[in-house]
Amino acid sequence: MRQTQLFIRTKKDAPKDEVSRNAQLLIRAGFIHKEMAGVYSFLPLGLRTLNKIIQVIREEMNAVGGQEVLLASLQDKEPWEKTDRWDDEKVGVWFKTKLKNGTDLGLAVTHEEPMTRMMTQHISSYRDLPALTYHFQTKFRNETRAKSGIMRMREFLMKDLYSFARTQEEHDTLYASLKEAYKKVFKRVGLGEVTYPTFASGGMFSKYSEEFQTVSDAGEDIIYVDEASGQALNTEVLNDEVLNDLGLKRENLVEKKSIEVGNIFSLGTKFSSPLGLTYKNEKGESLPVIMGSYGIGPARVMGTIVEILSDENGLVWPESVAPFRVHLLSLNADEKAEEIYTALSGAGIEVLYDDRDMSAGEKFTESDLLGIPYRVVVGKRSLVSGKAEVKKRTENESQEIAFDDLISFFK
Amino acid sequence: MRQTQLFIRTKKDAPKDEVSRNAQLLIRAGFIHKEMAGVYSFLPLGLRTLNKIIQVIREEMNAVGGQEVLLASLQDKEPWEKTDRWDDEKVGVWFKTKLKNGTDLGLAVTHEEPMTRMMTQHISSYRDLPALTYHFQTKFRNETRAKSGIMRMREFLMKDLYSFARTQEEHDTLYASLKEAYKKVFKRVGLGEVTYPTFASGGMFSKYSEEFQTVSDAGEDIIYVDEASGQALNTEVLNDEVLNDLGLKRENLVEKKSIEVGNIFSLGTKFSSPLGLTYKNEKGESLPVIMGSYGIGPARVMGTIVEILSDENGLVWPESVAPFRVHLLSLNADEKAEEIYTALSGAGIEVLYDDRDMSAGEKFTESDLLGIPYRVVVGKRSLVSGKAEVKKRTENESQEIAFDDLISFFK
């Protein structure tokens, strides 16, 4: 993409009302736009990164047999009343609205209820199970505080997957495969080394659950990490019984601030029973389906990457989720830069090409702010040497690469 | 994809409360699920088709320079008050909700206002124009009647593109390029021959606009078509002045029922003026940006394809939007069918493989219902002849293709 065609303007200063580092940097770099507190829009570079995170998650969900669907956001109250989650006293973050005839509707806070109800139309026999369904769909949560940028939005895309099993044993196998898939997701997006599976309370769903917590000072959570085993636990479950079950010793735990980037729940029959999701086993007996739910918010992952990896000069994207792989800067050498842009793009390498008429200093500063993994500079000196200056965003030293070797360098 | 892993169940009968043909067939075929009147979820096959339509639209928007973004659905009233569209008396289909502190929010009925406001952060000079931004984002419309299946939903994805130009002349060029892009979209998704650019009233926006109307008895609109020129006009503008302007004669017009599958509007400065979207020209003068807006609802396109192309046996998908290109049926020849499934999939051909243990009759009936363009049958006879029976969904006659020639047949 040519920057002369990209409509965004970067900013020197962050908006004064924005306290989170992720939103400050993403707004300055023109990745997102703030609509109001807790509500952000994604601009071209931000959407590209968000979509790359979505695609990583999609691939890992498909790899364990997930089937992608798209459930609606507008919710009728019927299934939520059956599970006792319609009342605002029970679920405090509902946004609600009304049809013209006065019928109450909700905006999905999550999708256990409609997903379970939908599956009653398709599952009836043991032959229909197991099944894994997931979608990327907007959730709406009427948060009182919304000061964490794109890590806690009032409207946000979530990947939520639901597992449907015949037996607890079958559920445990699905759950374990999803847990592994989650580890792969966080590893692929560059958060693997600082993200811990974390034993936690099950909330409304079950006695226990597991969270994936990324260590960061920007986090709203506190976890206790046993660094030897890589296991962590949440404050809520820091008691002798749990420590004993997990084989952990209190004195080995280190307290850390963290961001919850994913969570997985065993739901048992908490949703299938009230909503009538049953199957007939080989003997013709009707049994409730054993369920699990597994969530990741792609924008929270994106905000977390910004919190963890960015530096004093701006954003730093891992190659797996960067909006482009290469940032090509022309410094008064447009003819050669055009040629390189065409060649690299033609070879399938994603290039953002700064073809604007601006000073070298401005281009360098903005390139650091955008955080694309590789910067390739073509200037007057290059035309003499036949070499471009290639620098990784994470390194200070650049190297000279002959024009003819650029494609193979990036392949 | 293997059908043993696909969780959907097809149905012999349509739901009794569903009056539209598109929803009846799509529910029976397991492409969609009805949540409530006017609200549908997309199941794996339906989502694949919806995504193919989205991708066709995306490619054509990118081809004319569109930049993809993603604006929020939750709307604060400020920009809508400035254009006088917040009041329910002015826009009758708002869904509204509230933050916990009592602040009113709307659920986007469209995005002219937030898109224009967002662009004020990025456009200030003639050098920043022209620009084309678009997104695929959910719209919420509180429709009184919702009886047309996925053609008129209370919650639906829309592609809306906005053009920003310096002058009326520049706007006219952008508008013309978008009009051509729209023709390409409808041609690619199989509706080209029955879809007419239709002169219409501009509604709240401008004196005139253009709709793309697809002729169908399921339509809610009436258009008048001049078949010689391929030009149509809507009832609202059937008057001597317009006929004269377009060079049409009343006696040549044929009345037809039709479905509005897209619309394009010249907005002038109706949004840029109240929202302060201006640019400085070469002389340093501040001028309002000239805008246009261009909408297509991918699900309405999908519903229209069903209304136009399906037959008495079920759905019929054009290859460009079919969930899979090939439906492979094994009739007690699983070993050979597996081999073909692996070979075709490996060659990049999208195959739905019916590997279930069911009668030939049931498999054939369901294959017709799903409407995948090519049916490939491998049965006992195939094992003797070394040939599969290949039939197009739109033809009655099948042909025999040697196993070894299948890949080249579909390449």
Of B35, B105, B142, the CB nearest to A72: B35
Contact across the interface for A8 and B123, Cβ inside 8 Å: no
The residue from B254, B284, B309 where one domain ends is B309
Pairwise CA distance, residues B291 & B272, whole Å: 7
Contact across the interface for A44 and B35, Cβ inside 8 Å: no
Contact across the interface for B7 and A128, Cβ inside 8 Å: yes
For the cut 90, the answer to whether the pLDDT of residue B158 exceeds it is: yes
Asked if residue B60 belongs to a domain, the reply is yes
Contact across the interface for B72 and A123, Cβ inside 8 Å: no
DSSP string, B114-144: HHHHHHTTT--BGGG-SEEEEEEEEEE---S
CA distance A242 to chain B (A): 36
Residues of chain A found within 8 Å of residue B5, distances taken between Cβ atoms: 65, 67
Pairwise CA distance, residues A96 & A80, whole Å: 13
Whole-model pTM: value is 0.97
The sign of the torsion formed by the CA atoms of A200, A225, A153, A294 equals negative
Q: For residue A381, what is the domain's CATH number?
A: 3.40.50.800
Contact across the interface for A154 and B74, Cβ inside 8 Å: yes
The verdict on A282 and A333 lying in the same domain is no
Asked if residue B1 belongs to a domain, the reply is no
Contact across the interface for A41 and B118, Cβ inside 8 Å: yes
Amino acid in the structure at residue B93: V
CA distance A107 to chain B (A): 9
User: For chain B, what percent of residues have pLDDT higher than 70?
Assistant: 100
The verdict on B149 and B271 lying in the same domain is yes
Task: Output the CA angle A180-A183-A188, nearest 5 degrees.
Answer: 125
Q: In the structure encoding, which two tokens stand for residue B201, read together?
A: 């009233």
Which of A27, A31, A32, A39 to mutate to probe the B interface, most B CBs <10 Å? A39
Confidence of residue B251 (pLDDT cuts 50, 70, 90): very high
CA distance A175 to chain B (A): 18
Asked if residue B78 belongs to a domain, the reply is yes
Amino acid in the structure at residue A250: R
Burial of A404 (C-beta count, 10 Å sphere; 0-12/13-18/19+): exposed
The verdict on A174 and A225 lying in the same domain is yes
Selected residue with higher pLDDT from B145 and A50: A50
Residues in chain B: 411
Which positions of chain A have pLDDT values less than 50? Answer: none
Residues in chain A: 411
Which of A13, A48, A74 to mutate to probe the B interface, most B CBs <10 Å? A74
Asked if residue A3 belongs to a domain, the reply is no
Phi, psi of B96, rounded to the nearest 5 degrees: -125, 155
pLDDT at A2: 95
Nearest-10 Cα torsion for A76, B18, B373, A71 = 0
Which whole number is the average pLDDT over B102-122? 98
- Please list the residues that pair with A234 across neighbouring strands: A223
Which whole number is the average pLDDT over B340-345? 98
Of B5, B69, B107, the CB nearest to A41: B69
The residue from A309, A336, A362 where one domain ends is A309
Q: Are B14 and B20 in contact (CB under 8 A)?
A: no
Q: Which chain A residue is nearest to residue B4, measuring alpha carbons?
A: A128
Number of domains in chain B: 2
Secondary structure of residue B395 in the 3-state scheme: coil
Asked if residue A9 belongs to a domain, the reply is no
CA distance B141 to chain A (A): 10
Residues of chain A found within 8 Å of residue B105, distances taken between Cβ atoms: 95
The verdict on B57 and B201 lying in the same domain is yes
Of A69, A100, A122, the CB nearest to B42: A69
Contacts of B74 (CB under 8 A, 6+ apart): A35, A36, A39, A140, A154, A155, B105, B106, B107, B108
Q: Are B369 and B314 in contact (CB under 8 A)?
A: yes
Secondary structure of residue A286 in the 3-state scheme: strand
Q: In the structure encoding, which two tokens stand for residue A358, read together?
A: 């601006």
List C-alpha distances in Å: B333 to B147, B342, B374, B382, B403.
44, 14, 19, 8, 13
pLDDT at A204: 67
Nearest-10 Cα torsion for B108, B112, B115, B120 = -140
- Please list the residues that pair with A256 across neighbouring strands: A223
Contacts of B236 (CB under 8 A, 6+ apart): B200, B201
Residues of chain A found within 8 Å of residue B58, distances taken between Cβ atoms: none
Pairwise CA distance, residues A268 & A290, whole Å: 5
Which of A34, A95, A289 to mutate to probe the B interface, most B CBs <10 Å? A95
Average pLDDT in chain B:
96
Give the other-Cβ count within 10 Å of A262's Cβ.
Answer: 26
Contact across the interface for B95 and A100, Cβ inside 8 Å: no
The verdict on B224 and B113 lying in the same domain is yes
Q: How many CB pairs under 8 A join A and B?
A: 130
Residues of chain A found within 8 Å of residue B30, distances taken between Cβ atoms: 122
Contact across the interface for A39 and B119, Cβ inside 8 Å: no
CA distance B361 to chain A (A): 20
Q: Which chain A residue is nearest to residue B106, measuring alpha carbons?
A: A97
Residues of chain A found within 8 Å of residue B68, distances taken between Cβ atoms: 44, 47
CA count, 13 A, side-chain hemisphere, A247: 4
- Please list the residues that pair with B294 across neighbouring strands: B161, B264
Task: State whether residue A220 sits within 8 Å of chain B by CB.
Answer: no
Contact across the interface for A67 and B44, Cβ inside 8 Å: yes
The verdict on B254 and B342 lying in the same domain is no
Contact across the interface for B74 and A155, Cβ inside 8 Å: yes
Residues of chain B found within 8 Å of residue A114, distances taken between Cβ atoms: 35, 41
Amino acid in the structure at residue A156: F
Pairwise CA distance, residues A188 & A320, whole Å: 7
Residues of chain B found within 8 Å of residue A123, distances taken between Cβ atoms: 7
List C-alpha distances in Å: A327 to A163, A391, B134.
41, 10, 24
pLDDT at A16: 87
The boundaries of the domain holding residue A398 are: 326-410
Q: In the structure encoding, which two tokens stand for residue A99, read together?
A: 């049809």
Residues of chain A found within 8 Å of residue B140, distances taken between Cβ atoms: 74
Residue among B20, B59, B266, B272 nearest B159 (CA): B59
The verdict on A64 and A121 lying in the same domain is yes
Asked if residue A388 belongs to a domain, the reply is yes
Residues of chain B found within 8 Å of residue A72, distances taken between Cβ atoms: 35, 39-41, 155
Contact across the interface for A140 and B74, Cβ inside 8 Å: yes
Q: Which residues 63-102 in chain B show a CB within 8 A of chain A? A: 65, 67-76, 95-100
Pairing mode, strands B95-98 and B32-36: unpaired
Q: Which chain A residue is nearest to residue B163, measuring alpha carbons?
A: A7
CA distance B310 to chain A (A): 23
Q: In the structure encoding, which two tokens stand for residue A353, read together?
A: 């090409």
Asked if residue A402 belongs to a domain, the reply is yes
Task: State whether residue A228 sits within 8 Å of chain B by CB.
Answer: no
Of B35, B72, B128, the CB nearest to A41: B72
Contacts of B381 (CB under 8 A, 6+ apart): none
Contact across the interface for A95 and B105, Cβ inside 8 Å: yes
pLDDT at A202: 79
Q: Which of A232-241, B52-61, B286-295 has the lowest mean pLDDT?
A: A232-241
Q: Are A258 and A221 in contact (CB under 8 A)?
A: yes
Q: Which residues 133-152 in chain B show a CB within 8 A of chain A? A: 133, 138, 140, 142, 144
User: For chain B, what percent of residues have pLDDT higher than 90?
Assistant: 94
Prior bond of A288 cis (ω within 30°): no
Of B99, B118, B131, the CB nearest to A33: B118
Residue A125 DSSP one-character state: B
Task: State whether residue B16 sits within 8 Å of chain A by CB.
Answer: no
3-state secondary structure A320-352: CCCCCCEEEEEECCHHHHHHHHHHHHHCCCCEE
Contact across the interface for B138 and A36, Cβ inside 8 Å: no
Q: For residue B94, what is the domain's CATH number?
A: 3.30.930.10
Contacts of B191 (CB under 8 A, 6+ apart): B214, B261, B301, B304, B305, B308
Which of B28, B50, B69 to mutate to probe the A interface, most A CBs <10 Å? B69
Contact across the interface for A100 and B76, Cβ inside 8 Å: no
For the cut 70, the answer to whether the pLDDT of residue B204 exceeds it is: no
CA count, 13 A, side-chain hemisphere, A212: 26
The verdict on A233 and A120 lying in the same domain is yes
Residues of chain B found within 8 Å of residue A121, distances taken between Cβ atoms: 9, 33
Task: State whether residue B318 sits within 8 Å of chain A by CB.
Answer: no
Asked if residue A321 belongs to a domain, the reply is no
The residue from B278, B309, B340 where one domain ends is B309
Q: Are B344 and B401 in contact (CB under 8 A)?
A: no
What is the ipTM metric for this complex? 0.96
pLDDT at B145: 87
Q: In the structure encoding, which two tokens stand for residue B345, read together?
A: 């999939």
Secondary structure of residue A305 in the 3-state scheme: helix
The verdict on B248 and B376 lying in the same domain is no
Q: Are B1 and B353 in contact (CB under 8 A)?
A: yes
DSSP string, B149-202: GGGS-SEEEEEEEEEEESSHHHHHHHHHHHHHHHHHHHHHTT-GGGEEEEEEE-
Q: How far is CA A287 from the centre of its chain?
A: 35
Contact across the interface for B74 and A39, Cβ inside 8 Å: yes
The verdict on A228 and A109 lying in the same domain is yes
Task: Output the CA angle A64-A68-A72, nearest 5 degrees.
Answer: 145
- What b/e sequence results for A11-37 when a residue is b if at least 16 CB atoms lie within 10 Å of its CB, and e otherwise? eeebeeebebbbbbbbbbbbbbbbbbb
The verdict on B269 and B213 lying in the same domain is yes
Q: In the structure encoding, which two tokens stand for residue A347, read together?
A: 């070879």
The verdict on B333 and B305 lying in the same domain is no
